[in-house]
Amino acid sequence: MKSSVDQIRERFDNDVERFSNLETGQSATIDAPLCLELVAEAAAAATPEARALLDIGCGAGNYTLKLLEQFKQADATLIDLSRPMLDRAVKRVSAATAGRVEAIQADIRGAELDEQRFDVAVAAAVLHHLRSDEQWSTVFAKVFASLKPGGSFWVADLVAHQHPGVQSAMWHRYGCYLADLRDAAYRDAVFSYVEKEDSPVPVMTIVDHLRAAGFVGIEILHKHNCFAALGAVRPITGG
């Protein structure tokens, strides 16, 4: 059995400090600082006039802070399970923009989003908590509807591999990365909570869900081992 929403919330409630650093807040994620940069730059290139940002699973606000380097004084809506994470994110984001900052404590699966409200949406290290194709489809349709025509959606996350042999090889390499980063105990701790909490899917499955939701112009920005960053655009017409 995977961890419940309440169990996941409790873990993140107790891990605010680690996630409150743009450079080291996602040390277990390979190339986390690079993905921050790539997503922010791609969002600015695809949606240069963005004024309303949505951060799904915002944590302590790192992705919104990086986006605000591109979109000065934008409004930001932050969604997260964890109230301590949200409180920290609001404090950090409010200091970085004169725009309106809204915090919503919710699971994206149950959150209600206004239609055609946002220019840019991001979901970083959160969608791997979805448990079924139906949940992926529902969430992507919800994000699509919340974006203005021409708005963009960017995902950075843990991913799986379709071939069992490749999955095993990539997971071994990830274990070596974690052990080199700290030690074998850290590797085992990360592997333990991934097993309990996470349900990653292959990159191409995410691409399929983006297409099914109506997104176009799909771009894979980065793929390294079992992590990827990608995004797409809601078409200006016909969507």
Residue 16 has pLDDT above 70, yes or no: no
pLDDT exceeding 90 applies to what percent of the chain?
83
What pLDDT is attached to residue 10? 72
pTM: 0.92
CATH class of the 5-159+198-233 domain in this structure: alpha beta
Each residue of 148-176: pLDDT tens digit? 999 999 999 999 999 999 999 999 999 99
Residues in the chain: 239
Residue 147 has pLDDT above 70, yes or no: yes
Distance CA 152, CA 150 (A): 7
Each residue of 129-146: pLDDT tens digit? 999 999 999 999 999 999
Q: Three-class SS of residue 71?
A: coil
Lowest-pLDDT range of 23-27, 136-140, 175-179: 23-27
Name which of 17, 6, 237 is nearest 105 in CA terms: 6
Burial class (CB in 10 A: 0-12, 13-18, 19+), 150: middle
Q: What is the mean pLDDT of residues 184-196?
A: 92
Q: Tell me the CA distances in angstroms from 11 to 6, 16, 79, 116, 151, one per residue in order.
A: 9, 9, 17, 33, 32
233 has which bridge partners?
A: 152, 216
Name which of 203, 80, 209, 208 is nearest 135 in CA terms: 209
